[in-house]
Amino acid sequence: MKKLITAACLLFALHAGAQEKDITPAAKGVVYGAPIAAGAKAISTDELAQKAATAEYAGQVTGKVSEVCQAMGCWFKLQKSDGTSVMVKNKDHGFFLPQSLVGKTVAVEGTAKVKEVSEAQRRHLAEDAGKSKAEIEKIKGAEKEVQLIAAGVKVLD
């Protein structure tokens, strides 16, 4: 029993320490995660939605950040021209993003495809985004969405 309690305390301490990483504030030129390939042709979020609808896409995408995970900065959303967004998750939780990234234009290097997101996952993401309990309770059923798994993110402005 003592070993179990000790192990639980150790895991809790490691988990808590992992979330206390210093995150560099968003500013032009700052890179989070892996470096972004210079000179690569980037596509827009609208183009990404079209390409990912038929096949997996690997490359760069540019867009304006509309939302960042408030819990850890482990995901963010890029605006599309129709008012919807593309979900971007940080590969293997390898890096975290600051709230100051909202409103900034970024280049993202990664892979994207359409995925089905369960009701439970959608509610979890809404909770991470700081949505109200009433908004979270309105979430019903699974939805398909374009998800981009980011290896790296560079702030463009």
- Quote the domain boundaries for residue 115: 2-155
* Residues 15-45 pLDDT 10s: 444 444 578 999 999 999 999 988 889 999 9
Q: What is the mean pLDDT of the chain?
A: 86
Q: How confident is the model at residue 130 (pLDDT cuts 50, 70, 90)?
A: confident
Closest CA to 68 of 95, 44, 41, 38: 95
Count of structural domains, the chain = 1
Contacts with 41 (C-beta within 8 Å, 6 or more apart), sequence order? 59, 60
Most confident of 18-32, 49-63, 116-130: 49-63
Give the residue ranges of DSSP H helices in the chain: 2-18, 45-54, 119-128, 133-137
CATH code of the domain covering residue 73: 2.40.50
pTM of the model: 0.77
> Residue 133: is its pLDDT beyond 50?
yes
The pLDDT of residue 53: 84
> Residue 8: is its pLDDT beyond 50?
no
CA distances from 59 to 22, 52, 74, 149 (A): 28, 11, 20, 11
Reduced to 3 states (helix: H, G, I; strand: E, B; else coil), residue 92 is helix
Bridge partners (DSSP) listed for residue 86: 78
pLDDT top residue among 109 and 22: 109
